[in-house]
Amino acid sequence: MPKSRGHICPSCKTIGMSIFYEAKNVPANSCMMFSNHDEAVSFPVGDVVLGFCESCGFISNVAFDSSKIDYSTLAPEEQGFSGTFNAYANRLASRLVQDYNLHDKHISEIGCGRGDFLALLCQMGNNYGIGIDPSTVSGGVESEASSRLTFIHDYYSDKYACQNGDLVCCRHTLEHIHDTADFINCLRHGISDTSSTAAFFEVPDVTRILHEVAFWDIYYEHCSYFNLGSLARLFRFCNFEVTNLQKDYFDQYLLIEAKPVSKKSQKVLKNEESVEETAKDVENFAMHSKEKLGFWKNQLLDIKNKKKKAIVWGSGSKCVGFLTTLGVKDEIQYIVDINPRRHGKFIPGVGKQIVSPEFLKQYKPDTVIVMNPIYCNEIKKMMDDMDISAEYIPCN
Ligand SMILES: [Zn+2]
């Protein structure tokens, strides 16, 4: 792997990162949707150049330019349409309320989106919540805890340090932040050494991406990639002690809980991957990414040659990463999503239209590419109920 001396690891500040993967001209934001095809294909692009830190095991897009993404102009993200995901969020909130005895307490959430999870925590324990997010809107979430929720439409910074409360949550946000140590230090500086404030962070796990060579899970707005080891080292580097570290949601997410300490913690948890183990995973990805791209290009060629009607199920970032990295043209015409707010819109990059599952009754696809295989059963059931038989190709 070529070593770039010009880059400093954003997590441990060591000079030099090893470059192991590049994807040029990908949409700068894969969550955006457009009302027409032309706008979708002319959306700004950026480069993904992944660098690996041999000191702390962190992976970062060294070509990331944060000025290309303005989260304040985006609609808050919502994932609340899948039963599987909702059940997970409920279980997690209930566990946190129990473990941290969150009753009549103050909770903050950085990157809260609409505020669904914060509302859950506040509902379950009669807590008070402050949600900080550049895309949040007051009244976006319906909850019996609404009167105890405050939303701040802004990026998190030191001026919100006094709002931390008894628990600071931050879910699926840190992977969007390039200067990871600066961000965690900013949070840490707002908490006194003796405070009982706990931090709970959740991010996607890069291990599966590296093992399965899941190139569709690498996209521009995710500039930071962690495994349990690199995540724990970041928190220790910023004067937190890691109190719990685990994987959840079908091992796709990493969960870390930490408390402030005055001196650097030496406590390493058993499930942390070493930097050397991570280096092997990175090597695996670097070696096999070309053949994986080749496999999918052949699948697309087969669809084209046999004139199959193929659709992709799931219009999120994975789908955009998949279609743009493969340079899909006419092999796939439609993207299906269960979220009615996405129907009729076009995805950035390749500019394909998002349709409802009901649309398939008339379209009758031969092939369904399932972006997230954990939804395979939900999808098959929906298709069976509509009396449509098709072949399913899961992305794994
Ligand atoms: Zn590092």
How far is residue 313's CA from residue 357's CA, in Å, rounded to a whole number?
9
How far is residue 201's CA from residue 163's CA, in Å, rounded to a whole number?
17
CA of 82 to the centre of ligand 1 (A): 36
CA of 13 to the centre of ligand 1 (A): 6
Cβ–Cβ < 8 Å for 331, 304? yes
Helical (H) or strand (E) element with 264: none
CA of 19 to the centre of ligand 1 (A): 13
pTM: 0.88
pLDDT of residue 75: 62
CA of 10 to the centre of ligand 1 (A): 7
CA of 239 to the centre of ligand 1 (A): 15
CA of 233 to the centre of ligand 1 (A): 9
CA of 112 to the centre of ligand 1 (A): 27
> What is the CA 52 to chain-centroid distance, rounded?
19
CA of 52 to the centre of ligand 1 (A): 8
CA of 159 to the centre of ligand 1 (A): 27
CA of 278 to the centre of ligand 1 (A): 12
CA of 279 to the centre of ligand 1 (A): 12
CA of 3 to the centre of ligand 1 (A): 13
CA of 319 to the centre of ligand 1 (A): 30
CA of 323 to the centre of ligand 1 (A): 31
CA of 242 to the centre of ligand 1 (A): 18
CA of 228 to the centre of ligand 1 (A): 14
pLDDT of residue 138: 75
CA of 166 to the centre of ligand 1 (A): 29
CA of 215 to the centre of ligand 1 (A): 22
pLDDT in tens, the chain (396 residues): 777 778 999 999 999 999 999 999 999 988 888 999 999 999 999 999 999 999 999 999 999 999 998 887 766 555 556 778 889 999 999 999 999 999 999 999 999 999 999 999 999 999 999 999 998 887 778 889 999 999 999 999 999 988 899 999 999 999 999 999 999 999 999 999 989 999 999 999 999 999 999 999 998 999 999 999 999 999 999 999 999 999 999 898 999 999 999 999 999 999 999 999 999 999 999 999 989 999 999 999 999 999 999 999 999 888 999 999 998 989 999 999 999 999 999 999 999 999 999 999 999 999 999 998 888 999 999 999 999 999 999 988
CA of 338 to the centre of ligand 1 (A): 39
CA of 16 to the centre of ligand 1 (A): 9
How far is residue 106's CA from residue 104's CA, in Å, rounded to a whole number?
7
The sheet carrying 224-225 orders its strands as 3-8, 15-27, 45-52, 59-61, 224-225
CA of 102 to the centre of ligand 1 (A): 34
CA of 196 to the centre of ligand 1 (A): 28
CA of 331 to the centre of ligand 1 (A): 41
How far is residue 275's CA from residue 238's CA, in Å, rounded to a whole number?
18
Please classify residue 308 by burial: count the beta carbons closer than 10 Å to its beta carbon, then call 0-12 exposed, 13-18 middle and 19+ buried.
middle
| 76-111 b/e (C-beta count within 10 Å ≥ 16 → b) | bbebeebeeeeebbeebbeebbeebebeebbbbbbb
CA of 172 to the centre of ligand 1 (A): 20
Return the sign of the alpha-carbon dihedral for residues 162, 168, 172, 176: positive
CB atoms within 10 A of CB 246: 13
pLDDT of residue 72: 76
Letter for the amino acid at 84? T
Q: Which two three-digit tokens encode residue 122?
A: 């506040």
CA of 12 to the centre of ligand 1 (A): 4
CA of 223 to the centre of ligand 1 (A): 14
CA of 280 to the centre of ligand 1 (A): 16
